[in-house]
Amino acid sequence: MTSLVAAFPMYQRAELRPAFDALWSGTRDLLRAEGIAAPDALTTVEDDLLSFWQRPDLLLSQTCGFPFRHFLKDRVALVGTPDFGLEDCPAGHYRSALVVRRDDWRKSLDDLNGATFACNDVHSQSGYSAPLVTAQRAGLRFGAMRISGAHINSARMVATGQADTAGIDAVSWRHMTTFDAWVSGLQVLGWTDPSPGLPFITADTSLAPTLGLCLAQAIRSMPTELRTRLTLKGLVQIDARDYLSVLDPAA
């Protein structure tokens, strides 16, 4: 059987690594039982995720809605979307927290006009596109933008005064409030509208249904403590058209 690659690059942090490893090992064993050459371990991808997601030997990975609709929609197949049971979000959807320092003078969304904005990546739905759309709908314009490279870096930039605000993925924010005591110095000023969450993808369209079934079963079979640590409820199916219909910010 041809060797394939898999990676779960989103939401990775040291506290969650055992849970992600357990999720993969369960998925891997189920896939192998179906005759699919799932790799022993996940690949660690530290940069150029866009190239990795377009590899022809990609068995399974997780991407973001923005790169899916702009770069990947004709190159990969959707496998499913994790449901984290987020408040005020439909199953499989998420939103972004617009955060400021707890001692900041800003008290409403209107106060963010001209604010320095920390962004993890300009190809991020939660860190870039959704916050800008929210601001534009409110008739606001952020000031200077600082690229941080990760949601946790964006939050740190706000906490240390290098930026006034940032849009933080709701799942990432949940993990930060659980594991990072320093975020107590931040507060949520508002939220973006929900949009489809970060989907699992594959390069092989023919394998997508089997991958979805195996991944969903692996989630259900995870040890309760590990699944609870990820706050992962299950896997849902969201139509590609729902991802493609998400609005981009105006130029």
- Give the gyration radius of the chain's Cα atoms: 18
User: Do 105 and 174 reside in the same domain of the chain?
Assistant: yes
Domain that holds residue 135: 96-193
User: Do 40 and 120 reside in the same domain of the chain?
Assistant: no
User: For the chain, how many residues are written?
Assistant: 251
- Phi then psi for residue 210, to 5 deg, are -65, -40
Domain assignment of residue 249, yes or no: no
CATH code, domain with 56 = 3.40.190.10
User: Do 40 and 10 reside in the same domain of the chain?
Assistant: yes
User: Do 123 and 64 reside in the same domain of the chain?
Assistant: no
- Walk along the chain (251 residues) and give the pLDDT tens digit of each residue: 468 999 999 999 999 999 999 999 999 999 999 999 999 999 999 789 999 999 999 999 999 999 999 999 999 999 999 999 999 999 999 999 999 999 999 999 999 999 999 999 999 999 999 999 999 999 999 999 999 999 999 999 999 999 999 999 999 999 999 999 999 999 999 999 999 999 999 999 999 999 999 999 999 999 999 999 999 999 999 999 999 999 999 98
- Give dist(CA 224, CA 124) in Å, integer: 30
